[in-house]
Each structure stands twice: as structure tokens, then as C-alpha cells.
Amino acid sequence: MGSVLSISLSCDAIVSRCWDSLFEREPYVRKLQENLQALTTSLQELKSLKNDVQREVELAERQLRLKRLERVNNWILSVEALEAEINEVIVSHSTQEIEKLCCGGYCSKNYRSSYKYGKKVASKLVEVETLKSKGDFEEVAAESLPTALVDVIPSEPTVGMEPIFDQVWRHVEDEQVGMIGLYGMGGVGKTTLLTQIHNNFNRTCNDFNLVIWIVVSKGHKIEVIQDKIGEKIGLSRGVWKLKEQHEKAEDIFRILNTKKFVLLMDDLWEPVELTNVGVPVPDSRNKFKIVFTTRSEEVCGHMAAQKKIKVGCLTRDKAWNLFQEKVGKETLLLHPDIPKLAEIVANECGGLPLALITVGKVMACKKTPQEWKHAGKVLRRYASEFSGMGDKVFPLLKFSYDNLPSQKVRSCFLYCALFPEDFVIPKDDLVYFWMCEDILDEYGNVEEAKNESYHIIGTLLTSCLLEDEGDSVKMHDVIRDMALWLACDLGKEGENILVDTGAYHAPNVAKWKNAKRVSLMGSDIKSLDETPRSPNLLTLFLRGSHLKMIVDDYFDFMPTLRVLDLSENSLITQLPSGVSNLVSLQHLNLSKTGIKRLPMEITACACLKYLNLEQTFSLDFVPPNLLSSFPLLKVLRILDCGSSNRIFFYSERTMIDELQGLKHLDVLTLTVGSTSCFQNLESDHILVTCTLTLCLRGKIYGNLGPPSSYVDLSPVAMANMKYLDTLQIIRMVDVYCLRKITLENPSCFLGLQFVEVVDCTNLEDLEWLVFAANLIDLHVYGCSKMTRILGWTGTKTYTLTPFAKLTVLRLSKLPHLGRICENPLPVPFLKKILISGCPMLSKLPLNSSSAQTSNLIIEGEEKWWNSLEWEDQAARNAFLPCFRPCK
């Protein structure tokens, strides 16, 4: 018998189970399309979030040298795995599964397949949302990585910048220096130098863990700088860029304050307010570093740079090396004449790297001497026409011109282009030119005009458009070429200038028609025999030429001319009668000319404010009462004027009367050979109000004959000379009265800045100089009995410190000079000591304390230097680098 298994289920139970199963599966099918859309959207959001986190991680690893957190790395891997799975399993089958749906998506032709697919879609949607919720990280990286500190910036190799790079890097390594400013004219290589510094952090072991490079440029905005820094330190998310400036500053400060960072900022035109950006200010405690480049020394000052380093042009040798590199040896060796011609072309670039590179690349394909000769001529006369200069070099330099604070300063800059290449321009000359051309603001006297002019000169110096030469300035050759290029373009704005320095023939007068300023300085022009018509001409420079003749009607059509400089034309003996037509003339310089007579017509120049007749040794006629014709005269320079001491003033009384008539006179230079004449000056107002240059000359003209006898100077007259600026004592036997004068009135020499004593045979010292507290320059020459300069021994009580402001000391042919003074002096501003023909001078007034004087140069014979006595070996060692041997 077999067993029988019997199973009994109720109908209600079966129906219930089938209904429950269908109810659970139905949403996966019904919501399939909706879930697919949601999955696609959510997956895209997850991918964007992953990309943001990935960028933040990579930035932290690259810039901050940090290592990504493991949980962040696992999350990124999970997102990538899920993304791949969804793309492969879900998205690739979506179209096929949707086609199976029917009844408006509520049912399926293959219900089982649709259910499984829909369930998987819903499951992946949950996974995506879960990963999204876990992707909000407070930090993505932490531990330091031994990776490169910086990404090397591509840069061309440089030539000749090694010394300045070493100087900057020493300051970078100096913990006491936090802010370094590199300044210099455009095209000099500041960016290249900063690039080298940036890249060197990869090659040099140091403690910095963050190096940031940004370009600031002109017209910067704080927000743009913040965004550039934020990008470097991992704050570059889109949401962060929408924050307020102060919020960004807080975030930047929070991160940088925890790092030992270096911030390199290139091309600053205005100061950057670091606190507004969020950058912590460097100091000796936090060891942060900021290095920036700028064209303006003034920006260095505003940024409170502890070290201001000027990036100058290359020396001649280094410039030649750079030029050869750009031209290539193959070209230079094509013809034996090319190397010498190439040196001439390179010299026209003035050591400016940008010009050397630009011109060198152009000349690399020039294979004949003729092409090189032509290039030299074009660069010398018409530099803007040389390929690359007018479209690359000059536009870059023009940014500095455009950035000048006013049209007045720009006009003064262009004025300096009137002078020849490498010409050293006295600052005071510019004062008088600008004053008489009415470029300056309204002024009451010369001092006010001088103050404004020096302010403008200072602006041009700090902008690196002029070079400082002490009392003078100089314009770099390429800057001058740029200025002339600008003047041509700006002619329609009234700045048109005509410059033909070094010309052999006078330029066609037709070119003068619209000229505002004309310069023929240093030319080989022998005569000016064609009359120009120049209705707008303000300045005419004919200085330092070989002129012999100017036609009488030459000045007939220059009604607006205000500045005429004929100085240093020794061959010209007379002025044309047409000078009477210069009714607007304010500045006339006839110094160092061969003029024999001043024509009566010159009295028509009633607007004259500046008259210079210095060293006109051939002058033997001056119209009577000439000075009274110039009631507006502010500057009168008649030092060594005329063939005799009576040529300008027929008598002492005439001299006094004429000078007293000049109510606006501010500056006077004068040679005095008569004691009584000098004493008669004591009551004249000019001694109280004028800046005075006085020459006491024993033998008025020429060096023949014995020196004059003792001169008796009036104590009252000397006391009145409050503004005595320069004193020359030449070929006097003695001026013993100066001792008495200074003892009676110790303040009489407080204004004295320049002293020259020449061939005073009986002088043994210059003790009275103790009272010249503001003395800047002292030159003593040919005083055979002089044994010391100052008689000050330290036992006398003086309220003033001798030589406290002295910058230049020149001592020549003083065979018995043993001491300058007995004891060392504080000379904080001393720059040059020039000694020659002083074999007995055994000690300088310097000790270890004086060694603080920076940039001091001592020139003398090597034998003399080696025999000097010093306070101790330390003092000698301190001054040893200052010595320069001379023949």
C-alpha cells in the first residue's frame, strides 16, 4: 500500500498572497519612467559634486603640498564605481525597458522583466542620494606631501642678471626681511627675475610650504586679486566667488595665517591694500614673504618694502653677451665687419634687455655689413621705424608715460627728450626752463618754482623715466627714443617737438611750422641763414653747437618764443638785431659764448625773467642801464662776465643802483674783485633776499700774475648774506677776516652749501667752515701752505657739527696738508672723498662709527691709501671696499 500526501489551501489565502505580491511590484513598474529621470538628474548632481571635490583635492595636493584624506579618496572611488555601474547596467537598457511598458505605463508587456529593472533603478537612486549626502567635506586633505613646492613657470634663460638675483635671494632667506620690492623701467627684466625667484623654490631647500604667484597689473580690483589667490589655495568654488569682499578676506587670512607662505606679485602699478585682500602682513615673527615688481619706486614706499631693489639695465659687456645670444654666432661670423657693427647696434639699445632681445632677433637674419650699418643709423636717428621698436618696445614703455599723474608731468617728461643722448641735465636748468615756459603752476618766486619742479623730477625718477645723477638727471636712450616717438604722435595735442641733435645741416624750416619746441643741441651747424616761421614755438635749444653766424631776421617770426639757449657756442660773436622781435622771451642763456657786444635791441625783451651771461670772457660792451630794461628779472647770472671787472657795471654806484632796481630778483651769481665794491653791497636788499653765488677772485681774468693781496670783507655784509649758497675764493693771498666774521656772527654761513678755494697761497686752514653747518660740497685746490682744513680740535665748544651734511670732499695739490681735522667726524651723508696730490695727509676723519656711511667712495693714489693711519684694523677693514685707486 502506498502513502498519499494531501495539501489543502483555501482560495482566500491564494488570492491574498497574489494581491500582496502584485501591490509590492506595481510601483517599480508604474514609477519606472519617473525614477529613471530622477536617477539621471541625481547622478549628474553627484558627478558635479565629485568634480568639485576632485578639483579641491588636486589643488591641495599641488599648491599646498597636502595629502588627500582616505575617506575622501574612498568616496571619490565609490562615486566613480557607481557611475560606471549605472551607465553600464541602467542607462544602456533604459530605452528597451520603457518600450515594454503599456497602459500608460501602469503595466508591461513583460511584467517580470520590467519589475526587476524598475527595482534596480530605484535601488541605484537611493545609492546615489546616499553618496550625495556623504560628499560634504569640511576638509579634503591634511598631511604634507613630499611633492614639488611650485609648478615651474616657463621662462627664457637670462644673461647678466645673476648678481641681482643673488641679492634678492639673500633677502628672501633673511628672516628679518618680509617685504621686498623690485622696481625699474619697463622692459628691464623684472618679470623674468621674479620668475627665476619663483622657480628657485623648487630647487632650493627651504621652510616655505606655500608659494603663490599672481599678476596684478594696472587698475587692479581687490576682488580679482582675492579670486586669483583663492584659486591657488583651494577657495575657487563657484559659491565662494559670490561671497562679499570682507568674507573672502577672512577665508584667505584664515588659510594663509596657518602657512609659511611666499606671495609673488608681478606688475604692481598702485599699492595693494594687503589687509583688504586678506593677506597677513609679513614680520619677523611670522616669517611670511612678499616679493613684488613695479615700475615705480613710490609703490615700494607705499607698500612699506623693507628692501627696495632697483633692477637696472645691463652693463655694456653683459648687454653684448645677451645681444650675441639672440643674433646667433652663425650670423655674426658671416663677415669680418659684422661683429664690430653689431656692437654699435647693441649699444643703441642702452643695455635694456627688451630692446636687446627685440633688435637681436630682427638682426639674426641680416647677413651683410650694409644691412648692419643701416640698422645702426635707423636706431640712432629714427628708432621708432626699426622693426619691433614701434610696435613692441615703445608701447610697453608707454604704459609708464600714461601712468604719470597729470598732463603737466607728461609735458615735463617730453621736454627732457630735447637734450642729446646721454646728456646730463642739471635739475636747476629744468627749473628755469619750465618756469619760463609757464609749464608750472603760478609761483611767487624761484624757490616755489624750484619746489614744484623738484617734485615733478622726483615723480619721473620714481617712475624710472629719468635716471638720477645727483644734482642732475639723465634720460635712458631707449626712453628718449620712446619720448620722441610719442611727441610725433602727440603733435596734434600741442606737444610737437623737432629734435635734430648732432645735425650737420640746419633742418628745413618748413618743418618748424607747427613745432612747439626745437632742439639742435650739439650740432655741427655753422650758420643759420634761413628764416623759419614758427608761430607756436616756445623753446629753441642751440646749445653746444659750432655756430658762427645767425642772420639778422632769424627771430622775426617767433612771437611766442619764451626760452632761447645759445650757450656754449664759443664761435658766435654777436647776436642778430632781430632779437628785438622776441617780445615773449623769458629765458636767455648766452653763457660760454664768444659774444663781444650785446646789441641795444636786446632791451626790447622786457619780459625776461632769466639772463645768463656767465663766462662770457670776450664781452666788452653792454648797453647802459641794461638791467633796468628787465624789471621782471628773477635770475641774473653774471659770474665771470665780461672782459674786465667794469664791463657790466661802470662804477660801484651804478652796480648798486642797477641791482637795487631788480625788485623780483631771487638768484644772483656775481664775481667780486674789489673790496670796496663788496663792502658797498652790505646795504643792498639783494644780500638779504637773493640766493647768492659769490666769487672772490684775486686775479679777475686769466691765471697769469701773482695772486691778489689780502681782501677785507665786511662783517656786516657777510652777516646780511642769509642766502649765500656758493662761495668761491680764487687766487687770494689770504681771507683772514673770515675767522673774525664768523666769531662775531656764527650764523652768517648757515645757508652755505658749496665752497671752492683755489690757489690761495697763504691759507693755512679753513677754520671758519665749522660754521657752515649745511655745507654739501667742498673743493680745496692748490693751497701750498694749508696744513689742515678745520682747526677744530674738540676742545672748543661749537653748537654746530662740522660737515654734518657734507656729501663730496675734494682735496687736490695740497702738499703740506696733514689732517682734515684732529678728531673723527660724523659724516652720515658723505658719498665721495677725492684725494690727489696730498702726500702728507696721513689720516681721514673716519672711524668705526663712520663706517655706517653707505655707498661711500674714496678715490686716491694707491701709495697714499696704503700709508693711511687708522683708529684700528676694524676701521680700515670697514673702509677698504670703498677705495678706488686713481692714477
Q: Which residues contact 601 (CB under 8 A, 6 or more apart)?
A: 575, 577, 578, 579, 580
- Whole-Å CA distances, 110 to 19, 63, 101, 413, 612: 18, 56, 8, 89, 114
Residue 799: the pLDDT is 57
The owner of cell 674786465 is: 644
CA distance 208 to 260: 5
CA distance 681 to 660: 10
Rounded to an integer, what is the distance from CA 156 to the centroid of its chain?
Answer: 24
In 506-530, which positions are buried (b, 16+ CB within 10 angstroms) versus exposed (e)? bbeeeebeebbbbbbbbbebeebee
Rounded to an integer, what is the distance from CA 689 to the centroid of its chain?
Answer: 36
- Whole-Å CA distances, 490 to 365, 430, 497: 34, 21, 9
Residue 851: the pLDDT is 57
Q: Please give the biggest Cα pair distance in the chain.
A: 173
Residue 44: the pLDDT is 87
The three grid cell numbers given for residue 563, joined into one nine-digit string: 626760452
CB 669 within 8 A of CB 756: no
- 283 — alpha (psi -120 to 50), left (phi > 0) or beta? beta
Q: What is the DSSP string of 474-499?
A: E--HHHHHHHHHHHHHTGGGTT-EEE
The owner of cell 666769531 is: 743
DSSP letter at 284?
T
CA distance 806 to 786: 20
CA dihedral 367, 373, 375, 378 (to 10 degrees): -160
CA dihedral 506, 509, 512, 517 (to 10 degrees): 30
CB 516 within 8 A of CB 540: no
Residue 740: the pLDDT is 60
For residue 580, give the nearest of 530, 624, 629, 633 by alpha carbon: 629
Residue 64: the pLDDT is 61
Q: Which residues contact 451 (CB under 8 A, 6 or more apart)?
A: none
| Helical H segments across 278-384, by residue range | 297-302, 316-327, 329-332, 338-347, 353-363, 369-381
For residue 814, give the nearest of 832, 847, 837 by alpha carbon: 837
Q: Which residues contact 346 (CB under 8 A, 6 or more apart)?
A: 319, 320, 323, 356, 359, 360
Return phi, psi of residue 44, to 5°: -65, -40
Residue 747: the pLDDT is 72
The owner of cell 618754482 is: 449
The owner of cell 665748544 is: 797
Residue stretches of the chain with pLDDT short of 50:
1-23, 104, 145-147, 492, 700-710, 793-795
Q: What 3-state class would DSSP assign to 367?
A: coil
**Residue length of the chain:** 887
CB 387 within 8 A of CB 365: no
Q: Could you report how far apart the first and last alpha carbons of the chain are, in Å?
A: 145
The three grid cell numbers given for residue 164, joined into one nine-digit string: 641681482
Residue 245 identity (one-letter amino acid): Q
The neighbouring-strand residues paired with 859 are 834, 884
The three grid cell numbers given for residue 805, joined into one nine-digit string: 651734511
Return phi, psi of residue 564, to 5°: -130, 120
The three grid cell numbers given for residue 625, joined into one nine-digit string: 642801464
- Whole-Å CA distances, 557 to 283, 500, 531, 537: 65, 20, 8, 9
Q: What is the DSSP string of 164-203?
A: HHHHHHHHHH-TT--EEEEE--TTSSHHHHHHHHHHHHHH
CB 488 within 8 A of CB 390: no
Positive/negative CA dihedral, 638, 639, 642, 646: positive
Q: What is the DSSP string of 688-713?
A: HHSEEEEEEESSSSSS-SPPB-----
- 568 — alpha (psi -120 to 50), left (phi > 0) or beta? left
In 466-505, which positions are buried (b, 16+ CB within 10 angstroms) versus exposed (e)? bbeeeebbbbbbbbbbbbbbbbeebeeeebbbbbbbbbee
For residue 305, give the nearest of 286, 277, 282 by alpha carbon: 282
CB 545 within 8 A of CB 567: no
Sheet holding 425-426, edge to edge: 425-426, 472-474, 467-469
For residue 763, give the nearest of 740, 737, 742 by alpha carbon: 737
Q: Which residues contact 455 (CB under 8 A, 6 or more apart)?
A: none
Q: What 3-state class would DSSP assign to 219?
A: coil
Q: What is the DSSP string of 764-829?
A: ---GGGGG-TT--EEEEE--TT--BS----SSS--SS-TTTT--EEEEES-TT--BS-SS----TT
In 805-815, which positions are buried (b, 16+ CB within 10 angstroms) versus exposed (e)? ebbbbbbebbe
CB 456 within 8 A of CB 412: yes
